[in-house]
């Protein structure tokens, strides 16, 4: 245990602490330095003691302590910590290779200058809006050093991201089963090119209820052929047809889906649909229209939703036929979520998993005025989505996802197990229609 002893008169402060800006930070860094030094000594001592019985012909130990390495500064969450790692002289040889054995610290590898957490923070700060040139002034005061925080560091990271994104786009999908999927696209400006980058994204729900990125592609204005290329590639890599796909009705995605996965059911995103409907109506009607639309997508069952559609048509059909047609033309797809578990409705009514993630992409590209190239834009979007994926929660009642894949029948959100129950539910729905 470390103990801080105050030996100076009240009001006096250490000059080094003043220069660094905070006595509290200096205490934290000194504590971290001592604890790190103690841990490294203990690690080296354990290694030496482990081979204490191994000796040469003269009876001398083959593994002994050998002073300390040259001092270096390691950047960690406590700031910049100076450290001198203990060295070990290991004179043993490997029987297979004939090479000298070496002591390798698991706490502080020889190449390490930053803790893994700091290494993770750098790309996240960049992705969420901090420009490369701002790293040193922004973090130097916090960490006590600007070493290893230059713009070139981030440039090297983005090159690594491109390699990761390419590998991700070639991975095998045959061992993963996506029961639901959301599809959407985003247009990103490219600073060094005339054309925009159109990102095509598929996010899925696995059979265990967890959400994850399926694939990410570069399309041309969300065209049907671009989506078809993306879906064909996913199918070639082993992707099964999802049970339900959710997306904006304007996407070329649906034409591609019917070609590649014709057995997949379609559902429209209410977030997009409400925006499209209101765009076709004057602002004076938006408040009442929103309430009427909420009666549809928030109805307790499909029967009440169908009745709410008729009510919406009666209220606005005479004056705003074009806006009403946006609902009535896609009513089956808009109400498709009612044929799935009620616990999943909140997830299946919109493409929110993609929309919320793309908000971060839009923010980042706005800060940087767009990536410098399409490859950089793809890599940036990939890393942002993967970072967001760690915070995605599983769907409600994840145990029901496997039942959906198995073909279980749900009517108005409830599992129908008996044949007479299915007949009663079907009759109820037909009556409402």
pLDDT at 125: 61
For the chain, give the secondary structure using H, E and C.
CCCCCCCCCCCCCCHHHHHHCCHHHHHHHHHHHHHHHHHHHHHHHHHHHHCCCCECCCCCECEEEEEECCCEEEEECCEEEEECCEEEEECCECCCCCCECCCCCCCCCCCCCECHHHHHHHHHHHHCCCCHHHHHHHHHHHHCCCCCCCHHHHHHHHHHHHHHHHHHCCCCCCCCCEEEEEEEEEEECCCCCCCCEEEEEEEEEECCCCEEEEEEEEECCCCHHHHHHHHHHHHHCCCCCCCEEEECCCCCHHHHHHHHCCCCEEEECHHHHHHHHHHCCCHHHHHHHHHHHHHHHCCCCHHHHHHHHHHHHHHHCCCCHHHHHHHHCCHHHHCHHHHCCHHHHHHHCCCHHHHHHHHHHHHHHHHCCCCCCHHHHHHHHHHHHHHHHCCCCCCCCCHHHHHHHCCCCEECCEECCCHHHHHHHHHHHHHHC
Which pLDDT tens digit goes with each residue over 171-221? 999 999 999 999 988 776 654 455 667 889 999 999 999 999 999 988 766
Is pTM beyond 0.85? Reply is no
Positions in the chain whose pLDDT score sits under 50: 1, 7-20, 191-192, 367, 370, 432
pLDDT at 375: 76
Domains with residue ranges and CATH for the chain: 15-113 (no CATH), 118-269+350-392 (3.30.420.10), 285-348+398-433 (no CATH)
């Amino acid at each position: 245990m470390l103990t801080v002893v105050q030996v100076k008169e009240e009001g006096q402060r250490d000059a080094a602490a003043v220069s660094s800006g905070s006595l509290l930070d200096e205490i934290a860094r000194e504590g971290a330095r001592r604890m790190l030094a103690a841990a490294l000594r203990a690690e080296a001592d354990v290694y030496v003691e482990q081979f204490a019985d191994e000796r040469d012909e003269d009876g001398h130990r083959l593994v002994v302590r050998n002073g300390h390495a040259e001092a270096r500064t390691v950047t960690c969450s406590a700031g910049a910590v100076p450290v001198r790692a203990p060295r070990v002289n290991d004179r043993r040889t490997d029987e297979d290779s004939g090479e000298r054995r070496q002591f390798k610290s698991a706490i502080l590898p020889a190449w390490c200058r930053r803790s893994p957490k700091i290494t993770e923070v750098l790309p996240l700060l960049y992705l969420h809006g901090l420009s490369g040139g701002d790293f040193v002034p922004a973090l130097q005061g916090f960490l006590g050093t600007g070493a290893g925080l230059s713009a070139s560091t981030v440039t090297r990271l983005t090159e690594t991201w491109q390699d990761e994104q390419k590998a991700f786009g070639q991975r095998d999908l045959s061992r993963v089963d996506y029961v639901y999927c959301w599809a959407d696209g985003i247009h990103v400006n490219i600073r060094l090119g005339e054309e925009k980058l159109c990102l095509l994204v598929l996010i899925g729900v696995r059979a265990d209820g967890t959400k994850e990125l399926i694939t990410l592609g570069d399309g041309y204005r969300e065209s049907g052929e671009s989506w078809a290329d993306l879906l064909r590639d996913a199918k070639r890599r082993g992707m099964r047809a999802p049970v339900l796909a959710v997306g904006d009705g304007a996407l070329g995605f649906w034409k591609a889906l019917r070609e590649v996965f014709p057995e997949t059911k379609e559902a429209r995103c209410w977030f997009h649909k409400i925006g499209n409907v209101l765009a076709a109506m004057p602002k004076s009607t938006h408040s009442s229209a929103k309430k009427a639309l909420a009666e549809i997508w928030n109805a307790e069952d499909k029967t009440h939703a169908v009745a709410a559609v008729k009510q919406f048509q009666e209220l606005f059909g005479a004056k705003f036929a074009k806006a009403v047609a946006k609902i009535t033309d896609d009513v089956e797809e808009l109400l498709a979520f009612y044929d799935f578990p009620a616990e999943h409705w909140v997830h299946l009514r919109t493409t929110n998993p993609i929309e919320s993630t793309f908000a971060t992409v839009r923010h980042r590209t706005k800060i940087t005025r767009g990536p410098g190239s399409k490859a950089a834009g793809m890599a940036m979007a990939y890393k942002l989505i993967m970072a967001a994926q760690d915070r995605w929660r599983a769907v409600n009642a994840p145990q029901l996802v496997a039942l959906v894949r198995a073909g279980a029948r749900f009517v108005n959100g409830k599992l129908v197990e008996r044949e007479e129950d299915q007949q009663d539910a079907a009759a109820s729905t037909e009556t409402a229609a």
